[in-house]
Amino acid sequence: MSPGTQASQSEAAAPMAAGARLESMRRRVRLSRLAVLTAIAAGPVALCVAVASTPTTVQAATPAKPTAVRTAAAAANPGGYAQLFVSAWLRSSADDATSAQARLAQSMAPGVELPDPAAGAQSKPQSVTAVRTAQRGGGAWSVTVAAQYADQSVRYYAVRVVSDGAGASFAVTGAPGVVAGPVRASVPKSPYGVTLPEGDLSSAVGEFLAAYLTGAGEVDRYLAPGVALAPVSPAPYSAVSVEQVSAVEETAAAEQMPADGTTVHVLALVEARDADGRWPLAYELALKARSGRWEIAALQSGTAQNGGAR
């Protein structure tokens, strides 16, 4: 038999099978109705028996279609754009509108006038940094930018920026305005209220940080199983000494080693030295007890790294 003939017979068989199933269901329904009518005529007892014996057809519920959830993309922060504009704007001069900085400022904020510094004025900042962004309605932002000058003075500028719906393009909508700097926030009480004496835990912290910052020894030997942490490379310091270690948990100050799996969180204040001087540093760490020793479970300062199988 040719493939075409087989395909034709298969296509014809499908509706025939479906028709047979439908006719079978109709026959069962007719028989059920006849049984019920007969039972009614025979009396209540026969009716109960007929109902109990009537086949029941259960139709599977159609799975509900998943509801589409639209997650709004986080709006792109224009802080870097405003920072670049203020840097170019402060380094521009209306007397030289063709300079690279002037052309950059004008391309980012068409229609905004360039400054006109006096001859010999030291108006160019050493550094410019975006310190605060606030989103307004309709794709508008207000960005506060700090400019630090050679005389160590700092001046803050507020810049209005608009963005498209996707956050792919920005434009400065007006000249910067000099504003007061952000108010210093109140510092909450430190959770590291337990000062630790010299002991196994402090030694583990000191040895780990020495390997991490000076390359003295292998970092891996101080890590808990499953934790992956590479040392700073190249090693920035020649020596590291622990000045103070404080913990969140009282368990860290116990004289006896706690049970395996006990985790404590500490803040280590250290002094690092190199050819250029002495540097006070601080590190937040999590340590876990295992087999009578403390092991580093996470370095929480900066980029937290608490695992990755080794």
pLDDT digits (tens, 9 = 90+) for 289-308: 999 999 999 998 654 333 33
Question: Do 91 and 172 belong together in one domain?
Answer: yes
- Name the phi and psi angles at 270, rounded to 5: -125, 160
For residue 75, what pLDDT is reported? 61
Q: Tell me if 115 sits within 8 A of 89, measured CB to CB.
A: yes
Question: Do 163 and 233 belong together in one domain?
Answer: no
Question: Do 281 and 216 belong together in one domain?
Answer: yes
Q: What percent of the chain has pLDDT over 70?
A: 71
Question: Do 283 and 204 belong together in one domain?
Answer: yes
Find the farthest-apart pair of alpha carbons in the chain and give their distance in angstroms, rounded.
118
Report the predicted TM-score, pTM, of the whole model to 2 decimal places: 0.61
Question: Do 240 and 212 belong together in one domain?
Answer: yes
For residue 309, what pLDDT is reported? 32
Question: Do 279 and 214 belong together in one domain?
Answer: yes
Task: Please say whether the dihedral angle defined by the alpha carbons of residues 214, 215, 218 and 219, taken in this order, is positive or negative.
Answer: positive
Question: Do 91 and 143 belong together in one domain?
Answer: yes
Question: Do 226 and 172 belong together in one domain?
Answer: no
94 in any annotated domain: yes
pLDDT digits (tens, 9 = 90+) for 129-166: 999 999 888 889 999 999 999 888 999 999 999 988 66
111 in any annotated domain: yes
Question: Do 160 and 207 belong together in one domain?
Answer: no
As a dihedral over the C-alpha atoms of residue 17, residue 21, residue 27, residue 31, rounded to 10 degrees, the angle is 150
For residue 164, what pLDDT is reported? 82
pLDDT digits (tens, 9 = 90+) for 260-284: 999 999 999 999 999 999 999 999 9
Question: Do 170 and 225 belong together in one domain?
Answer: no
Q: Whole domain around residue 258: which residue ranges?
A: 194-299
4 in any annotated domain: no
285 forms bridges with which residues in the sheet?
A: 266, 299
Residue 5 has pLDDT above 50, yes or no: no
139 in any annotated domain: yes
pLDDT digits (tens, 9 = 90+) for 74-95: 567 899 999 999 999 999 999 8
278 in any annotated domain: yes
For residue 6, what pLDDT is reported? 46
Q: What percent of the chain has pLDDT over 90?
A: 58
Question: Do 86 and 160 belong together in one domain?
Answer: yes
199 in any annotated domain: yes
- One-letter identity of residue 190: S
The closest alpha carbon to 245, from 221, 263, 209, 270, belongs to 270
11 in any annotated domain: no
pLDDT digits (tens, 9 = 90+) for 218-265: 999 999 999 999 999 999 999 999 999 999 999 999 989 999 999 999
Total tally of structural domains belonging to the chain: 2
Residue 45 has pLDDT above 60, yes or no: no
- Name the phi and psi angles at 265, rounded to 5: -120, 130
For residue 21, what pLDDT is reported? 55
247 in any annotated domain: yes
Question: Do 201 and 169 belong together in one domain?
Answer: no
> Rounded mean pLDDT of 108-131?
87
CATH code of the domain covering residue 255: 3.10.450.540
Task: Please say whether the dihedral angle defined by the alpha carbons of residues 246, 248, 254 and 256, taken in this order, is positive or negative.
Answer: negative
